[in-house]
C-alpha cells in the first residue's frame, strides 16, 4: 500500500474517531508500528493531525468551504447516523409540529419514524417525498432548489418560515466549533437554519462526531442555542457550552 493511501485511511479514521492509536492502525493496515509512527510524524509535519504518545489526535480546527453531494454524504458514517436518528425519534410526540432540516443525518430520522401523528415542515425535497410515502403530514417550503443538497433555500423559503412556530426542530450542521458555533458552507442554507432556530422551542442539532472541530464558511448559531445529539464526544470541554447527548452505535 502506498503511503498516500495509508495517509488517507488514517485521516478518515481521525475524522470519525478524533483519536487513533499506533497499535490499532498497525492492525487495521497490516503494517509495522514503526511504519505507522513514521506516517504519523509525516502527517504531523504537514499539519494534518497532532502526534501524541502512542498515537494521534485530530487537529482541532479545520476549515472547509466545499459541500459534498447528498450521495457522497449518504455513504459516510451510516451506522452513526442511524443511532443518532433513533434517539431523535424518541424525542418526538404525537402533538409536535416539527421542522426537519435537509441533510442525510436528519433524513435518517424518517427511516425510524413509525405511526406518528406529529406534523412536519421541511426544506428537503426527498424528505417531503419520504414522509408523504409513510402517510405522515408534511409541508414543503417553497423557494429556490439547491441541487447539491436537495434543499429549498432563498428569500421565499425564509419568508415562508415566518408563518410557523415549531415545538421542535432537527437541524444538520457541517461544522461544530466552540468559537464559531454551528456552521455550513452555504449562506442561503445558513439563513434558513438560523430562522428555524429562532422559531423553534426545542432546538436539536443532529451531527456525528466527525463534525466537531470543523468550521465551514457561514455560522448560523452558537452552541448555546441548541442541544446536540451525536455518537461520540472525545473532547469533553464541549459540554460546557450546551447539552450534549451521546448515543451508542
User: Domain coordinates of the chain in residue numbers?
Assistant: 3-59, 70-246
Angle in degrees, CA 237, 230, 184, rounded to 5: 85
Contacts of 45 (CB under 8 A, 6+ apart): none
227 burial (CB, 10 Å; 0-12 / 13-18 / 19+) is middle
Which region among 38-42, 145-149, 190-194 has the lowest average model confidence (pLDDT)? 145-149
Task: Decide if 10 contacts 4 (C-beta within 8 A).
Answer: no
Name the 3-class secondary structure at 142.
coil
Spatial separation of the C-alpha atoms in residues 206 and 81, rounded to whole Å: 8
Average predicted confidence (pLDDT) for the chain:
90
Q: What is the mean pLDDT of residues 17-21?
A: 84
Domain at 70-246: CATH architecture: 3-Layer(aba) Sandwich (3.40)
Q: Under CATH, what is the fold of the domain 3-59?
A: Arc Repressor Mutant, subunit A (1.10.10)
Contacts of 108 (CB under 8 A, 6+ apart): 81, 82, 84, 85
Q: Which residues are registered as beta bridge partners of 170?
A: 100, 204
Which region among 5-14, 182-191, 194-203, 239-248 has the lowest average model confidence (pLDDT)? 5-14
Task: Decide if 168 contacts 96 (C-beta within 8 A).
Answer: yes
pTM of the model as a whole: 0.75
Closest CA to 169 of 198, 140, 210, 134: 198
Q: Which cell is 238 given? A: 464541549
Amino acid at each position: 500500500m502506498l503511503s498516500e493511501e495509508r495517509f488517507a485511511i488514517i485521516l478518515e479514521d481521525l475524522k470519525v474517531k478524533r483519536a487513533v492509536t499506533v497499535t490499532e492502525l498497525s492492525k487495521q493496515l497490516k503494517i509495522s508500528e514503526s511504519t505507522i509512527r513514521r506516517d504519523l510524524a509525516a502527517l504531523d509535519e504537514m499539519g494534518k493531525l497532532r502526534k501524541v504518545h502512542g498515537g494521534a489526535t485530530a487537529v482541532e480546527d479545520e476549515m472547509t468551504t466545499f459541500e459534498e453531494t447528498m450521495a457522497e454524504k449518504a455513504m459516510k458514517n451510516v451506522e452513526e447516523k442511524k443511532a443518532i436518528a433513533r434517539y431523535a425519534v424518541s424525542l418526538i410526540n404525537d402533538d409536535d409540529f416539527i421542522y426537519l432540516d435537509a441533510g442525510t443525518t436528519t433524513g435518517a430520522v424518517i427511516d425510524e419514524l413509525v405511526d406518528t401523528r406529529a406534523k412536519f415542515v421541511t426544506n428537503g425535497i426527498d424528505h417531503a417525498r419520504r414522509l408523504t410515502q409513510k402517510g405522515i403530514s408534511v409541508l414543503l417550503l417553497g423557494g429556490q432548489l439547491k441541487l447539491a443538497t436537495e434543499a429549498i433555500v432563498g428569500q421565499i423559503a425564509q419568508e415562508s418560515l415566518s408563518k410557523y412556530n415549531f415545538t421542535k426542530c432537527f437541524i444538520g450542521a457541517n461544522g461544530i466549533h466552540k468559537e464559531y458555533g454551528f456552521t455550513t458552507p452555504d449562506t442561503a442554507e445558513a439563513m434558513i437554519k438560523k430562522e428555524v432556530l429562532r422559531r423553534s422551542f426545542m432546538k436539536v442539532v443532529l451531527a456525528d462526531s466527525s463534525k466537531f472541530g470543523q468550521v465551514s464558511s457561514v455560522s448560523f448559531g452558537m452552541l448555546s442555542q441548541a442541544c446536540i445529539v451525536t455518537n461520540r464526544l472525545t473532547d469533553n470541554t464541549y459540554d460546557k457550552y450546551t447539552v450534549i447527548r451521546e448515543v451508542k452505535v
